[in-house]
Amino acid sequence: MTEERPAYPSLENSSVRRWTPQTFGRDSTATESADDDSFNHEWPACWEAATSLLKWRKPHDRIVDEENAPFYRWFVGGRLNAAENCIDRHLEKRKNQVALRWEGKRGERRTYTYYDLYREVSAVEAALRELGVEADDVVTIYLPKLPELPIAMLACARIGAVHNVVFAGFAPDALVKRMQHVDSSALVTCDGSIREETAIDQKRKADTALASLEESLPTIVVDRLGASHGTHLGANQYDYDDLVETHAGADVTPVSRKSTDPLFHIHTSGTTGDQQRMTHATGGYLAGVAWTARTVFDLSLGTTIWCTADIGWITGHSYAVYGPLLSGATAVLVEGSLRYPDRHRPWKLIERNGVEIFYTTPGVIRTFMKWGESFPSSYDLSSLRLLGTVGEPIGPDTWEWYYTHVGEERYPIVDTWWQTETGCVLISVRPGIDESKPDSVGPPLPGIEIQVVDEDGRELPPGEPGYLTIDRPWPSMLAPLEGDRYWVLAEYWQAFSDPRADSWRYFTGDRAVVDDDGYVTILGRDDDVISIGNRRLGTAELEAAITTVDGVTEAAVVAKSTGGETTLCVFATLEQEQRDQNAVGDAIADAVAKHVGEFARPTSVVFTPELPETYSGKTMYRLLERVINDRSLTNSDALRNPEILGELATIWNRE
């Protein structure tokens, strides 16, 4: 029997980069974080460092309550308010500092100082109170990326209500499900949104959803489209601007919340099945986000950060809204696609707003690669000092392009790993402290303990791929409601039998490998696995080999079963200047055979302008599987680019 090649990236010859605080570009606040030894050996007392970044109405009695393990409760006895931490505490010294810069799809711009934000959040809070919303009620927010979205979130937090942000691109049925799932008491939406040059009637979608509910809910409607788009307000519906004007000058003391009270609900994207409700508690979530905003992203007073994530996803919650505002930083919020009205838009935005921290997805970076390096090179990006990625493995080639053409070979990259469930970043290098390896996310952050284990829960040695687990609780961990605990327990804590008695272990659902330095490389989701013969291969492992081919910017691998035999099919996108598809197709097949093994050589390579992706940048493999197996294609609420489905089917049928 011939020796099988390892089906994961080799870490032995990684290109290592290191940035000191001086080469990082400033005196990094990340270097001021608690030292590794105290975090690793003084758990859970080490997390006092995170609580010190917040303003508490009442200090906690206990750091962590283990009574309901595995659902630990953090900073028990403490009381605080999220909106007060994001806004009020900055007013005395920094009320005129810019908190939020918004760029609209039609070139509109709005700027909010911390005092502006305080006034409008207070007015919306007073309006919600008048409409009957109280502490612990749930308010669903169904808005595109407008300033009114974070304002509504903070107004809910200020009143003690729980916000439930639903991505504005979802259809009415998806909105209904998410509203019913949380027993929503009110809705905030808008008249419409803009897709390219077309106005989308957002309110009509909201009205369709509301008609499916058993009772009428008070609904606040934001005017996005202006006088050109007439909007009729029905019974129990209210104009946002009228409410803000009516309640201008409201000054109500923020509601004191227990640290363990829920701050928000958020639903997973549903890319692999039904969406699930996640809940995060106020104190633990804010502490985790504040600490990682400082330690991973070096956010401090006045820092300007642009996180491209939609606020409907956890990345937008944590690092487009809460992280920046908790830090006294300036958040840049951009409506719409980065490719509209043209490919110059991202670089104009960075130059015009003096963006220092740019946080996006590998999918967005691969889009930039397809456009070509001439676009970023045409703009002054010298304000940048830190780049970040999130959402999926970035791959060494994409990392190098990002570092070279956006980072100008000067700026550190933090390739972060975390999940909706974790609330904040758990694995990443720290700029100015840790070395960076382009094919690795990095080490777990101080206070986070990870293990890579086999199917029986036994720890694997460095270099062997397995299941990524978190072996110690952390403050921003999911805090499920009583009714969610059964499925959460089955999903994350009963994935396999653990030979260690009385152990605590969170199963992430990701596969990974760790090197001798403790650096983690993510190999993809456990369910993103293809079996060929008796060999299980992660899609990320295969795609990493494919993207080593010159000209390939993005790839997705799916399996096709014919007559009992499974073969690999590759969908790939190319740089604009790449024309010889036959040669590239042969090179892709050779690369898979070389890096993984001849047994994995793909039988089909299909070139496509785009892959089907969610709005959070994740490839929807199940749609590609339907294409190659000639099954009917149905649109998905989570799909960012539904127009690609028909094109994919046409291209596949030509093969």
> Bridge partners of 619?
613
How far apart CA 428 and CA 416 sit, in angstroms, is 5
Residues 6 or more apart whose Cβ sits within 8 Å of residue 494: none
Average pLDDT value for residue range 212-236: 89
Tell me which of 15-29, 555-569, 623-637 is least confident: 15-29
Residues 6 or more apart whose Cβ sits within 8 Å of residue 60: 51, 75, 76, 77, 78, 259, 283
> Bridge partners of 510?
525
Tell me which of 37-41, 55-59, 205-209 is least confident: 37-41
Compute φ and ψ for 612, nearest 5 degrees. -70, 125
| Residue 581, pLDDT score | 85
Local structure of 311: helix, strand or coil: coil
Q: CATH homologous superfamily of domain 528-654?
A: ANL, C-terminal domain (3.30.300.30)
- Mean per-residue pLDDT over the chain, rounded: 87
Residue 279 pLDDT level (bands cut at 50, 70, 90): very high
Tell me which of 11-15, 41-45, 522-526 is least confident: 11-15
| Residue 335, pLDDT score | 93
Rg, Å, the chain Cα set: 24
Q: Is the pLDDT of residue 77 over 80?
A: yes
Q: Is the pLDDT of residue 173 over 50?
A: yes
DSSP state for residue 47 in the 8-state scheme: G
How far apart CA 548 and CA 50 sit, in angstroms, is 40
Q: Is the pLDDT of residue 103 over 60?
A: yes
Sheet with strand 262-267: strands edge to edge:
237-239, 219-222, 186-190, 138-141, 162-165, 262-267, 277-281
Average pLDDT value for residue range 602-606: 89
| Residue 5, pLDDT score | 32
| Residue 322, pLDDT score | 98
Alpha carbon of 404 to those of 80, 373, 549: distances in Å?
43, 9, 18
Strand residue runs (E) in 338-493? 357-360, 386-389, 413-415, 435-436, 450-453, 466-470
Report which of residues 252 and 383 the model is more confident about.
383
Nearest to 511 by CA among 530, 494, 498, 497: 530
Residues 6 or more apart whose Cβ sits within 8 Å of residue 242: none
For tokens 């993984």, name the residue: 596
Average pLDDT value for residue range 418-438: 93
| Residue 81, pLDDT score | 98
Nearest to 534 by CA among 570, 496, 566: 566
Residue 10 pLDDT level (bands cut at 50, 70, 90): very low
| Residue 494, pLDDT score | 73
Q: List the domain boundaries for the chain.
A: 528-654
Helix residue ranges per DSSP H, 25-108: 36-41, 48-51, 82-86, 91-94
Alpha carbon of 119 to those of 2, 147, 201, 304: distances in Å?
70, 13, 29, 22
Average pLDDT value for residue range 99-113: 95
Report which of residues 238 and 272 the model is more confident about.
238
| Residue 340, pLDDT score | 82
| Residue 25, pLDDT score | 55
Q: Is the pLDDT of residue 639 over 60?
A: yes
CB 415 within 8 A of CB 442: yes
Residue 196 pLDDT level (bands cut at 50, 70, 90): low
Inter-residue long-range contacts of 254-257, CB under 8 Å, 24+ positions, other chains counted: 254/81, 254/83, 254/84, 254/88, 254/157, 254/158, 254/159, 255/81, 255/135, 255/158, 255/159, 255/160, 256/57, 256/58, 256/79, 256/80, 256/81, 257/79, 257/80, 257/81, 257/82, 257/135, 257/160, 257/282
Q: Give the type of residue at 87.
A: I
Spell 510-543 as b/e; 16+ CB within 10 A means b.
bbbbbbeeebbbbbbbbebbbebeeeebbbbbbb
Q: Is the pLDDT of residue 563 over 90?
A: no
Q: Is the pLDDT of residue 655 over 90?
A: no
Residue 270 pLDDT level (bands cut at 50, 70, 90): very low
How far apart CA 523 and CA 513 sit, in angstroms, is 7
CB 109 within 8 A of CB 134: no
DSSP state for residue 425 in the 8-state scheme: -
Nearest to 468 by CA among 546, 414, 393: 393
Query: Is the backbone peptide bond immediately before 70 cis, with ω within 30 degrees of 0?
Result: yes
Ordered DSSP codes for 339-370: TSS-TTHHHHHHHHHT--EEEE-HHHHHHHHH
Tokens describing residue 284 = 């633990």
CB 182 within 8 A of CB 264: no
How many beta carbons lie within 10 A of that of residue 455, not counting itself?
10
Residue 294 pLDDT level (bands cut at 50, 70, 90): very high
Average pLDDT value for residue range 347-365: 95
Average pLDDT value for residue range 201-216: 92
How far apart CA 283 and CA 256 sit, in angstroms, is 11
Residue 520 pLDDT level (bands cut at 50, 70, 90): very high
Spell 421-443 as b/e; 16+ CB within 10 A means b.
bbbbbbbbbbbbbbebbbbbbbb
How far apart CA 261 and CA 162 sit, in angstroms, is 9
Q: Is the pLDDT of residue 206 over 70?
A: yes
pLDDT over 70 for what percent of the chain?
A: 87
| Residue 534, pLDDT score | 57
CB 110 within 8 A of CB 146: no
Tell me which of 330-334, 393-397, 493-497, 515-519 is least confident: 493-497
How far apart CA 3 and CA 566 sit, in angstroms, is 21
Residues 6 or more apart whose Cβ sits within 8 Å of residue 345: 338, 339
Residue 633 pLDDT level (bands cut at 50, 70, 90): low
How far apart CA 440 and CA 421 sit, in angstroms, is 21
Q: What is the pLDDT of residues 487-518, one digit of tens each?
A: 888 888 876 655 444 578 999 989 999 999 99
Q: What is the pLDDT of residues 397-418, one digit of tens each?
A: 889 999 999 999 989 999 999 9
